[in-house]
A and B are shown apart, each in its own frame.
Chain A
Amino acid sequence: MSAKAHHNHGPVGRVEDARLVTGAGTFAADWNVPGQLHGTFVRSDRAHAEIVAVDTGRALKHPGVKAVITGADAVRAGYVKPMHTLTFPGKGGMQTRAPERPVLAHGGVHFVGEAVALVVAETAEAAQDAAELVEIKYRDLPAVVSPEEALATGAPQLHENVPGNLALEVEVGDAAAVEAALARAAHVTRLKVEVTRVAPNPMEPRAYIASYDARADSYTLHVCCQGITTLRRHLSAYTGVPEEKLNFEVGDVGGGFGQRTPAYPEHGALMLAAKQTGRPVRWVSTRSEGIACDTHGRANVINGALALDREGRFTAMRLDWVNDMGAYLSPASMGHIRNTTTCMTGVYRIPALYATYRVALTSTNPVSSYRGAGRPDIAYTVERLVSQAAAELKMDAAELRRRNFIPPEAFPYKTPTGSTYESADLPGLLEKALKLADWKGYAKRRAQTEKAGKLRGIGIATVIENTGAGQAAKDEVELELDAAGNLTVYTMAKSQGHGHETTFATIVADALGVPFERVHLKQCAPEKQHRLQGNHTGGSRSTVGAGSVCHLAAQKLIEHGRAAAALDLGVEPSQVEYADGAYRSKESKRTFRLGDLARSKPVSVVAEGKFGSTFPNGCHIAEVEIDPGTGAAEIASYAAVDDLGVVINHGVVEGQLHGGVAMGAGQIFGEHVVYDRGSGQLLTGSFMDYYMPRAGLVPAIRGAEHPTASKVSPLGVKGVGESGCTGSLPAVANAVMDALAPLGVGHIDMPLTPARIWHAMQDARKGR
């Protein structure tokens, strides 16, 4: 751990919370601009069809309607080719086959909910009424919603330029070495696991206003997003509108989880409408539109094999992935392959690794990054394999892990798939977690549970994930100082509830030794949007990246003022020392306050940095109780020990972990997007059918930190945004499997709903 503490000047709680929890935030639907019109999208009610004709005549005649934009307009404008990030070569040099996607469907629709037309009217009600008058004639085509079925011979062909619905095939690792190791293994554990398709469901629905300035030929979009830089890049690529002609306004954002990162077709369609009508066009999504059309997450099926020698040491692992990307490639889908490759070995020394990926297109909503973007998927797969191996070999699940950890002295550790894990103390982490969870006392707790007529299980997961590195060339932060000594920090990182205003201001206050109250954060400020570069907030990277640059900017400001301070103090710059908001010199009795630098005019510095990956890791231990009568499972206890490097604000970090743990537990116990196999209709289109975790799902989490040093950034921090669910997916699932194992239940896939658990128990009883 870095010796330097970074939380001297920060608050205990979060400064943004009073605003956010009292309804004083400004979210995207709170924006209104003069002269605005209102848009409603007409969406496909079928999964796969040819569009024979679109008749907008009746809708256009409806009172108040100003325009109906269709796929023909999208094609005419050239808004047809969204960016994607599967840009690396596949197996045998294969190039990704990406279907075009006009911002409004043209020629055909490929999933239920795809936008076909945009009705624009003086009021939202008029637009909604007129949307029902748009007549679309379809010719139905067969749909396929399962990625494995989409790749099978004889499946309906969904896009002309994607033969066999296979967008990309990738292989990594050493196939021959793995095959050889599997052949001579003392034991091989094989599992097929599904990491289900889920709907991220941020609390805030999407809302945008697009305005067009004819004189400047530029657009301004009011949005909810995770940062404007990535959105701008995506949207520019999609529409061909140069980045400097795209301006953004963004206020508070109510959750993102990766889903608020990419450019969506709706952005482009609203731009077309704004240009055509000459007036701003506003759209606020409904919750049902959000579930159907905002990108989904996960959706991977993995066949895994883990080879062990006689001593229970892992010798090889093979994973064969099918990645369901939905109907089109999202601009942020690389994580499914890149992140799962980066962390394929988990926290273990596995000498031989090999994985294949088959990226499938289906008749479903596109899949993109979702809290972890592959990291929880690989952690779940590896940790299920390891716990299953322990169960098969009748070994203690902690001992099997201990035996296979990458030892502390092996860090930095280069993995067989080419990434370099920075630092970790896995044995120390494990021992701390076992103690925190009272691993030894488990038998007693289980006996108590059984006495009450229930089943109890314990599950462990030891996980690691890459955080930090972003795709932007660099992160820039501007720091502005006024005569009163107030500091304004400008970042391109954008909180969606994370607490940047607390964390980043603390970093600056600490570096400058000034009271926290003097430091104010402005994220994605319109006046800086074309001046500063930087990553959006996603991939657990913002404190590592933008946070570190906040620190560098503060140091730069100190250096910047040294000469002026020396002049004022009448000494040489080398004789000036800076501490606690002022320059001093032994040679002078006076001090020169930081604010004095800005006496005549505000002072501003811009700092930059680019940082690599750092690897938070953790050991999570969950216990569950299962009601055998109903199959209902409850989390009875949860302990988490995490190596997050240096922590700036413990409250913020705990909040991230707790939210992540609950999100992962929600996926294990219920969250699941389901499409009808035959028709491709969405069966979980509202919260009546789409399970969301509730506050009572996860009881008090016992947490502890076990930091190891990170040298990736000057702060020594590691990412935390995704750690919670990376740990909880496997820990909770392993606990349920452990509870069911004595009944003879093998692996069952998430979601572990009461019905699914109950059926597994019945099947085991009946020997089915």
Chain B
Amino acid sequence: MYSLSYVKPKSLKDAAAFLAKNPEAKLLSGGMTLIPTLKARLARPTHIVDIAGLKELRGVAAKGGKLVVGAGTRHHDVASSTVVRKAIPALAGLAAEIGDPQVRNRGTIGGSLANNDPAADYPAAVLGLAATVVTTQRSIAADDYFQGLFATALREGEVIVRVEFPLPKRAAYSKFHHPASGYAMAGVFVAQAANGARVAVTGAGPGVFRWKAAESALAKSFKPEALEGLALDSSNFNNDIHADREYRANLVRVMAKRAVAKLAGRK
């Protein structure tokens, strides 16, 4: 790790103010990505601004037909929340499958979204559920928020405050774990809402994306068979020592079908 300064602001406002003055400072939440990155000397921030203790960023609530999750809420808290389990069980299930118990007890939803790892789980839920990312400056629709490999719509100094999930009729997530890292080699989040179905895919490509052909097919018939033989553009899928594009495309199809199958019989 390079030498750096550690700052612990007392409020979100203080944190945002500090970031505005220090463009090379980095927010530290759960630290599940940042700390290893620092240890490997792959990042060299001037400061780390520790917001992990800010209570205003934590917590879960269901109100006004929405599920609201504070940016500093840990994966374990989402996974074990009775509110989340009741409102969107698929989201609790997704959180329960992130990393390992150590990661789930440190990592936060805001951290995951700000980092936007192409194999992270939360982006699939946020995009699949058409959630809104609320920051210190504005509200960003999921469709605008994710911008490819580790890229988001966040501006410098902008801090995620909470995520607002509209409640779907039903939703499911199916994930195939990367054999080495445990991240999603392909994770597919399927949601059915009043205005149609959404299918969001993580792990397979350079960033989370919607499989629109699947969405149209499911709008007509919400059954696994509806996904048979659908077009899936895998030209930009990851192709590495672990799996080639063809295999990842297969995983997307299989995980999508399994997610839909999980919902069979559920309203």
Residue positions of A touching B, CB distance < 8 A: 125, 128-129, 132, 288, 629-632, 669-670, 674, 683-684, 687-692, 753-755, 758-759
Contact = CB atoms under 8 A, between A and B. Distances in A.
B40 A630 contact: no
Contacts of B1: 125
Interface in B27-53: 40-41
Contacts of A631: 247
A758 B2 CA distance: 43
B180 interface: yes
B225 interface: no
Contact of B254 (A629, A690, A755): A629
Contacts of A632: 176
A88 B179 CA distance: 41
Given A630-B176, A670-B179, A689 B242 contact: yes
A213 B90 CA distance: 64
A690 B242 CA distance: 10
A147 B180 CA distance: 25
A129 B2 contact: yes
Contacts of A669: 179
Q: Is the interface of A mostly helix, strand, loop or mixed?
A: loop
A93 to B, nearest CB: 41
Contact of B247 (A125, A689, A690, A759): A759
B247 A755 contact: yes
7 contacts: A669-B179, A688-B183, A689-B241, A689-B242, A754-B176, A754-B179, A759-B247
A162 B34 CA distance: 45
A246 B40 CA distance: 34
Contacts of A129: 2-3
A631 B2 CA distance: 43
Interface string B224-267: 00000000000000000111101100110010001000000000
Contacts of A753: 179, 242-243
Contacts of A754: 176, 179, 243, 247
Which of A632, A674, A755, A758 gathers the greatest number of chain B CB atoms within 10 Å? A755
Interface in B168-201: 176, 179-181, 183
Interface of B: 1-3, 40-41, 176, 179-181, 183, 241-244, 246-247, 250-251, 254, 258
B175 to A, nearest CB: 11
Contact of A689 (B181, B244, B251): B181
B241 A674 contact: yes
A687 B180 contact: yes
Contacts of B244: 755
Nearest to A688: B181
Nearest to A128: B41
A758 B250 contact: yes
A118 B141 CA distance: 51
Contacts of A630: 176, 250-251, 254
A630 B242 CA distance: 13
A754 B251 CA distance: 10
A755 B204 CA distance: 13
Q: Is the interface of B mostly helix, strand, loop or mixed?
A: loop
A562 to B, nearest CB: 58
B241 A684 contact: yes
A132 B3 CA distance: 14
Contacts of A759: 246-247
B240 to A, nearest CB: 8
List 7 tightest A-B contacts by C-beta distance, closest first. Answer: A755-B243, A691-B180, A629-B254, A755-B247, A688-B181, A670-B179, A691-B179
A688 B180 contact: yes
A668 to B, nearest CB: 12
A196 to B, nearest CB: 12
Contacts of A687: 180-181
Given A125-B1, A630-B176, A674-B241, A288 B40 contact: yes
A632 B41 CA distance: 35
Contacts of B242: 689, 753, 755
Contacts of A683: 241
A327 to B, nearest CB: 21
A638 B62 CA distance: 47
Which of A129, A687, A754 gathers the greatest number of chain B CB atoms within 10 Å? A754
A292 B151 CA distance: 30
A225 to B, nearest CB: 26
Contacts of A125: 1, 3
A631 B243 CA distance: 12
A132 B246 CA distance: 40
Contacts of B246: 759
Which of B180, B243, B250 gathers the greatest number of chain A CB atoms within 10 Å? B180
A629 B174 CA distance: 13
A669 B243 CA distance: 14
A687 B179 CA distance: 10
A689 B40 contact: no
Nearest to A687: B180
Nearest to B186: A630
Contacts of A758: 247, 250
Contacts of A629: 250, 254, 258
B251 A690 contact: no
Contacts of B2: 129
Contacts of A674: 241
B261 to A, nearest CB: 11
Nearest to B257: A629
Nearest to A125: B3
Contacts of B247: 631, 754-755, 758-759
A132 B90 CA distance: 46
Given A128-B41, A630-B251, A670 B180 contact: yes
A291 to B, nearest CB: 12
B227 to A, nearest CB: 12
B55 to A, nearest CB: 31
A469 to B, nearest CB: 37
A129 B2 CA distance: 7
Given A632-B176, A684-B180, 10 more contacts: A125-B3, A129-B3, A132-B41, A629-B250, A630-B250, A630-B254, A689-B181, A689-B242, A753-B242, A754-B179
B180 A690 contact: yes
A690 B2 CA distance: 26
A649 to B, nearest CB: 32
A753 B180 CA distance: 10
A632 B247 CA distance: 12
A203 to B, nearest CB: 15
A304 B251 CA distance: 35
Contacts of B250: 629-630, 758
A674 B180 CA distance: 13
Nearest to B178: A688
Nearest to A631: B247
A532 B207 CA distance: 61
Contacts of A688: 180-181, 183
